[in-house]
Amino acid sequence: MPTVAHGFFIQPGQESWTNVSDVLADLAGVEPEWRIGAALLLPRRKLAFWQNAVDEWSGATDFILADPESTRMDRAYSERGLGRADYRYLAESDPVANPERFVRNALQAQQHAGATTLVSPWLRHGVTQTEHELSATIAFATLAEAMAGDFDLLMGVEATEGVFGSDEARNAMVNELIEGPELPVYLRMHFSAPAGYGQYRQQKALEGLRDVVRALDANDRPVVMPQAGMLGLLMSGFGARSFGAGMAASLQRNTPPSGGGSGAPPLPWYFVPQLLGFVLAEELHDIADVEGFEVCDCPYCDGALPATGAAFDRMAAGKHFLWTCARLAAGLDEKDAFGSVKRLIDGAVDFADAVAEDGVPLDPRSAPAHLTVWQDVMSD
Amino acid sequence: MVETVEVTADLISDGLGAFDELEFLGRGTFGTTFRALRGESETAIKVIHLVDMPAYLWERELTSLATVDHPNVVGLIGSGTFKALGRELSFLECEYVSGGSVEARVRTGERPRKDELRALLTGLLAGIAEIHDLGIIHRDIKPANVGLRDGEWGSPVLLDFGVAKVLDMTSHTAVGQMVGTAPYMAPEQLRGRPARTRSDLFAVGLVVYEAGTGRHPFRSPDVQTVQSLYDRITSGPPEDPRVSADWPDDVAEVVLRILSAEPHERLSVARALKDLGAR
């Protein structure tokens, strides 16, 4: 169960599963005490693919989730994922009209894939001006609770950043959720992909997310945050128990937002835990001279800075990011997660100041502009 | 405008047969209640005096309520309809709680002792926990709807179930209405949102606060309309009851928490009972 203690789960995306297998095996071998899981993004692959992956990963993980990504239900059938033909819930024409069949099939699909903890399907709240999707989400969770049997169950919930950023909409959502089944919440905040490379820093929405996580936790509904990356770490200070990220969150597949369309090569991003953000690999050599920097000792960095130029190893950088997420989650104090996160952010601000004072030139895309916003979010 | 009928003892006798005694107890928003004595059986009969209110509005909850056997929830003996004045009228027959209501006791100026106040709060919380587990929301908890078994403050009984659902079907809380129609509603109800379990919890807080201090926590000469009541509730917590009355700290703290304007900021029933050492 991903809510037992603070933990991290890997969410494989487009990369080869062997990369994920490597990281999971290394984590299990080197840091067996860390709480690690995996969350399949179910519709994106055929059932057999996920079953094989789970066979490989189950020995190295504390839990496995099979995220039903049920917001794909608002797309045409042909766009619901490569594995759509294998999962009957994705063929449902109207989940709200046929909730029992939809929920049963969504849970069965997760079980077939090998999930150890199930997630009730959901619709995205905030896309219409009604609470229709929220009501359906709660109804799905109520049905799922009755169907889950001996499986642990999370209640899937997703809302737009507009809902989180509005006091009235956010409170109304939380007030409805706490009237629903008393289940841990698998919570996503939906926002459009940012135009740049930095960490998420919309202050109003972040404060709203913080308030939601805190309110749900106070009402005995601990939160799990999929596809959250450092945002999940930030929210661990307010009650989130586990968060997920994949290689894609390490920016290794991002192309520059040049406006010139796709095709540009990805930039060599490297995650710097001291900044809780990414910098370009070539910048790291100057940053490494700043007091407070520590070279990463994960199996993929092995005490060395990443190579630059053509020698830059993107997969190693991605694995380093996943490993670092797991390390940061494992380092949270179970009794004072807020204090742990606050110390990390305050430390990152201090380190960013030191980088600036030392005159290290940073590309504007590497500047840790999120840190002061995150500090404000922590200050309330 | 909803049409009503005047319910009299004769009308009930015509519809339900003769009783040894029928004593008028009161006329509320949608029902008129009598104490009914037939042989050894003493019950309370409530006749819905709103005309053309379809019984399905409350039938499901009454079916669930009939299964409840809890000291803090009134026992439902039966329900049905009878013909009178050319119309079909719905009625409920419940256990008769003889000790009067919290409202009546507050009016006399009597206040519960510390131990009685704690028992009043834990009893009401246990009562709503029981009905909420069955998916029932009372929706209309107020001092007049809390009976005191044998007149004991520490033995509260939730009265007047089910029919309160009618409140959700009518425009009872339009902003601008006088506050007298809705002083015991939670702020979300005042805004026209449906009542939830935590709306009942808020109302329990109001009842206990009023029982323990003799006054409504949010009403004042400035609060005369639903809008002003809503504004007062959402502007901040009420005065700490310990300022003017001798309350146990844990009872005061639980009551202040369950009087929070936002439902998610109220303690859950289970947490409130735990904080009071009752679970």
Residues of chain B numbered 46-65 and touching chain A (CB < 8 Å): none
ipTM of the complex: 0.80
Contacts of A182 (CB under 8 A, 6+ apart): A220, A221
> What average pLDDT score do residues B43-68 get?
78
Amino acid at B130: E
Q: Are B47 and B7 in contact (CB under 8 A)?
A: yes
A258 vs A279: CA distance, rounded Å: 18
A219, A221, A224, A226 alpha-carbon torsion, rounded to 10°: -90
Chain B CA closest to residue A182: B268
Q: In chain A, which residues have their Cβ closer than 8 Å to the Cβ of B196?
A: 175, 179
Neighbours of B184 (CB within 10 A): 18
Q: Label the pairing between strands A240-245 and A223-225.
A: parallel
Task: Report the pLDDT value the prediction gives residue A264, as an integer from 0 to 100.
Answer: 61
- On the question of pLDDT at B171 being above 50, the answer is no
A335 vs A233: CA distance, rounded Å: 15
Task: Report the pLDDT value the prediction gives residue A82, as an integer from 0 to 100.
Answer: 92
B197 part of contact set with chain A, CB < 8 Å: yes
Tell me which H or E stretch contains A156.
Answer: strand A152-160
Q: In chain A, which residues have their Cβ closer than 8 Å to the Cβ of B268?
A: 178, 219-220
A249 vs A322: CA distance, rounded Å: 9
pLDDT tens-digit map of B206-228? 999 999 999 999 998 888 888 99
A179 part of contact set with chain B, CB < 8 Å: yes
Q: What angle do CA B225, B229, B234 make, to 5 degrees?
A: 150
Select the residue from A175, A211, A216 to test the B interface by mutation, using most B Cβ atoms within 10 A: A175
Given the structure tokens 């819930």, which residue do they identify? A89
Residue B140 is a catalytic residue: yes
Q: Cβ contact (<8 Å) for B264 and A174? A: yes
Which position has the higher pLDDT, A105 or B182?
Answer: A105
Q: Label the pairing between strands A7-10 and A36-41.
A: parallel
Task: Report the pLDDT value the prediction gives residue B110, as an integer from 0 to 100.
Answer: 93
Nearest CA-CA partner of B27 in B204, B160, B195: B160
A164-173, long-range: CB < 8 A, 24+ apart: A164/A189, A164/A205, A164/A208, A164/A209, A164/A212, A165/A202, A165/A204, A165/A205, A165/A208, A166/A208, A167/A208, A169/A126, A170/A208, A170/A211, A170/A212, A171/B262, A171/B264, A172/A131, A172/B193, A173/A125, A173/A134, A173/A212
Task: Report the pLDDT value the prediction gives residue B157, as an integer from 0 to 100.
Answer: 96
Model confidence band, residue B176 (pLDDT cutoffs 50, 70, 90): very low
**Half-sphere exposure of residue A114, counting CA atoms within 13 Å on the CB side?**
23
Nearest CA-CA partner of A68 in A125, A129, A9, A115: A115
Positions of chain A with pLDDT lower than 50, given as ranges: 254-257
Q: Cβ contact (<8 Å) for B268 and A215? A: no
CATH number of A7-245: 3.20.20
B94 vs B42: CA distance, rounded Å: 9
Q: What is the mean pLDDT of chain B?
A: 87
Task: Report the pLDDT value the prediction gives residue A29, as an integer from 0 to 100.
Answer: 94
B37 vs B26: CA distance, rounded Å: 16
Neighbours of A328 (CB within 10 A): 21
Mean pLDDT lowest among A151-165, A303-317, B136-150, B176-190: B176-190
Chain B CA closest to residue A215: B264
Q: In chain A, which residues have their Cβ closer than 8 Å to the Cβ of B265?
A: 215
Calculate how close chain B gets to A212, using CA atoms only, in Å. 10
Q: In chain A, which residues have their Cβ closer than 8 Å to the Cβ of B271?
A: 220
The answer to whether the Cα torsion of B70, B71, B73, B75 is positive or negative is: positive
A174 part of contact set with chain B, CB < 8 Å: yes
Q: Label the pairing between strands A269-272 and A277-280.
A: antiparallel
A217 vs A240: CA distance, rounded Å: 8
Task: Report the pLDDT value the prediction gives residue B92, as an integer from 0 to 100.
Answer: 87
Task: Report the pLDDT value the prediction gives residue B78, as an integer from 0 to 100.
Answer: 87
Q: Cβ contact (<8 Å) for A219 and B198? A: no
Model confidence band, residue B50 (pLDDT cutoffs 50, 70, 90): confident
A278 vs B266: CA distance, rounded Å: 41
What ranges do the domains of chain A cover? 7-245, 269-379
- On the question of pLDDT at B162 being above 70, the answer is no
How many CB pairs (< 8 A) connect A and B? 25
Q: What percentage of residues in chain B have a pLDDT greater than 70?
A: 89
> What average pLDDT score do residues B127-153 get?
92
Q: Cβ contact (<8 Å) for B264 and A179? A: no
DSSP string, A335-356: T-HHHHHHHHHHHHHHHHHHHH
- On the question of pLDDT at B234 being above 90, the answer is yes
Q: What are phi and psi of B88, to 5 degrees?
A: -100, 120
The answer to whether the Cα torsion of A186, A192, A198, A200 is positive or negative is: negative
B278 vs B270: CA distance, rounded Å: 9
Residues B10, B69, B133, B140: which is the catalytic one? B140
CA B179 to chain centre: 17
A220 part of contact set with chain B, CB < 8 Å: yes
